[in-house]
Every structure is written in C-alpha cells, then in structure tokens.
Amino acid sequence: MLRKTRQIDKIATLYRDDETGIAVVYDAISGYAHSAHPNVCASGSVSGIRKLHLWSQKDRVVRAGEYNYNIDRIAIDTENVYDCVAVSECMCDACQARRRQTSS
C-alpha cells in the first residue's frame, strides 16, 4: 500500500510502498504519477506486455498500489523533476542494488 512520505512542493507529493519500496510522485495539477519504472495498471496484462517483447520474461515485476512495476528497467525523463525525485527516492530491490554498484 502506498503511504504518503512527504510533500515535494505545493502540487506534488511523494508516496512509497512499504513492502516493495517503490516511490511514486503524484502531481496534483496534471493527475500524473511519476515513478522510476515502467508500469501497467494492475487490471492490465503483464503477460501481454511480455508477449509483445516490451518486457523480458526474466524482468522482475512487483505490485504497488494499483500498478505493476517492472523493477529491472528504468523509464524516466531526466528533464522532469518529478521523475528524477521518483528514481532517487525509490527503495525497491533493483534500485538499491544499482546504487550499491555505482557507489563501489
């Protein structure tokens, strides 16, 4: 379950899933949710995305809130401040492993 972590600015709030560590920044003006990872609504089809070869069969997928996130891929716009916050705040297993590798 996503839990409010902190207010980023007047229009954006950071949420984190306690179980998976996924971080999501909600923009109240646009209604858009920014995350570090490509995702699909929980009612969508992860197997369909894999059949289309958009995600590998080996990619790890976790559910947080109403979405399934592919934690083995990063999908951000580096010029979008909320995407950058989401990737820096994500505490999923894959993001933590990436941080350990880059700090070594």
Q: Tally the domains of the chain.
A: 1
- Distance (Å, whole) CA 27 – CA 8: 10
Q: What is the pLDDT of residues 22-76, one digit of tens each?
A: 999 999 999 999 999 999 999 989 999 999 999 999 999 999 999 999 999 999 9
Structural domain including 18 reads 2-103
Residue type for 10, please? K
Q: How far is CA 42 from CA 37, 46, 66, 95, in A?
A: 14, 9, 5, 21
The pTM score is: 0.90
